[in-house]
Amino acid sequence: MKANIVLLPGDGVGPEIVAEAVKVLKAVVTRFGHDFEMTEHPVGGVAHDLCGDCLPDATLAACKAADAVLLGAVGGPKWDALPPEKRPERRALLTLRSELGLFANLRPAKVWDALKGASPLKDEIVARGIDILIVRELTGGAYFGEKGRSADRTSAYDVTPYSAHEIERVARIAFDAARRRHGRAVAPRPPKVTSVDKANVLETSRLWRETVTALHAAEYADVELEHMYVDNAAMQLVRDPARFDVILTENMFGDILSDEASQITGSIGMLPSASLGAAKGGLYEPIHGSAPDIAGKGIANPLATILSAALMLRHAFGLAAEADAVEQAVSDVLASGVRTADIASPSGASSAVSTSEMGDAIQSALSGF
Ligand code: IPM
Ligand code: MG
């Protein structure tokens, strides 16, 4: 198939990891005979340095016209002093999410067989299996609500608005995903959605719970639904992660819980994400940030970005066999013992491979060498 992919390498380790995902996409093109046109555009701090805007008009226009967008990371200490609305995180990432209408963020967190030892959890907890899909609402809540300061700047507020419409459309994505995952979750069980809120305190959470419950009763009675307070969910993620299948939650809770989920799987350097909207396409990015402390050293783990490219193949283009092949290549390479520093055991850290060596290994595995 023909597809037009926009690459947004961005800041910090972004360019290094996106380069490896491009290698892998080229291997997919060769092996499966597709025609992917990939064009790079500036975003984040580098774009600010180039033209005074973290999200130049031309970049946004290219993303809107693309079949899919692959993003590395944005932000870094160099741009921390910019006014809040001009910073890479707000201006580039949040504007992209809202302008492209990407209301659902899928963050799969699983323990790869070869990396069981990298989880900080006890062996018997990991042995029960960790294979969770976090569905995070991405264009609502406190991130996008009205914010401000009092005239004397000694008090501040961030409003957390949610409408039933916003809740229902992301809940639908979670229920559909649970149905699709049925059969591949760790333990044999019916598909399950855990909806996470703070309904004992927040009004938006009460609306969240009512809306999810009503949609479930009307259309998804075959899926098991449980509701859980966010503080309890944070605890259960480390106490008994095997109890989770799909976690559905609002923007800020999802941000926090997905970092926690990534750590129990071993490394945040392994977690991909897909941001989807009503239109086809979407934006694909690792959940980790720009990691300025290791940028330019060639040691960042490119697997989260490579796995994000796999999600792009599956969700944007419907290329399931190709996505499976990339994920299988990652699994095979990990099984053969190849490790970047973040996932190496303390004793093997000195023999860890570089970012580009990991990309090469995945590319070779895909090409069948
Ligand atoms: C993420 C990041 C972003 C978020 C930041 C960089 C704005 O942490 O994608 O999880 O909070 O959404
Ligand atoms: Mg985050």
Q: Is residue 249 part of a domain?
A: yes
The response to whether residue 89 sits with its C-beta less than 6 Å from ligand 1 reads yes
Task: Indicate whether 246 and 158 sit together in one domain.
Answer: yes
Task: Indicate whether 11 and 74 sit together in one domain.
Answer: yes
Tell me the pTM: 0.95
Ligand nearest to the CA of 136: 1
Closest to 328 (Cα-Cα) out of 345, 315, 317, 313: 313
Q: Is residue 94 part of a domain?
A: yes
Q: Is residue 111 part of a domain?
A: no
The model's pLDDT over 158-210, given as tens digits with 9 standing for 90+, comes to: 999 999 999 999 999 999 999 998 865 454 578 999 999 999 999 999 999 99
Q: Is residue 64 part of a domain?
A: yes
Beta-strand relationship, 192-197 and 147-149: unpaired
The number of distinct structural domains making up the chain is: 2
Q: Is residue 252 part of a domain?
A: yes
CA of 142 to the centre of ligand 1 (A): 13
Task: Indicate whether 233 and 333 sit together in one domain.
Answer: no
Q: Is residue 114 part of a domain?
A: no
Task: Indicate whether 257 and 132 sit together in one domain.
Answer: yes
Q: Is residue 115 part of a domain?
A: no
Task: Indicate whether 250 and 290 sit together in one domain.
Answer: no
The model's pLDDT over 304-332, given as tens digits with 9 standing for 90+, comes to: 999 999 999 999 999 999 999 999 999 99
Q: Domain of 68?
A: 1-105+270-369
Q: Give the model's pLDDT for residue 185.
A: 47
Q: Which of 264, 295, 328 is the last residue of a domain?
A: 264
Q: Is residue 323 part of a domain?
A: yes
CA of 73 to the centre of ligand 1 (A): 10
Ligand nearest to the CA of 260: 2
Active-site residues, by number, are 143, 198, 231, 255, 259
The response to whether residue 303 sits with its C-beta less than 6 Å from ligand 1 reads no
Task: Indicate whether 132 and 229 sit together in one domain.
Answer: yes
- Which residues partner with 37 through β-bridges? 4
- Determine the atom of ligand 1 nearest the C-alpha atom of 97: 12
CATH number at 26 reads 3.40.718.10
Which residue's alpha carbon is at the smallest distance from atom 6 of ligand 1?
A: 89
Cβ atoms within 10 Å of 277's Cβ, excluding its own: 18
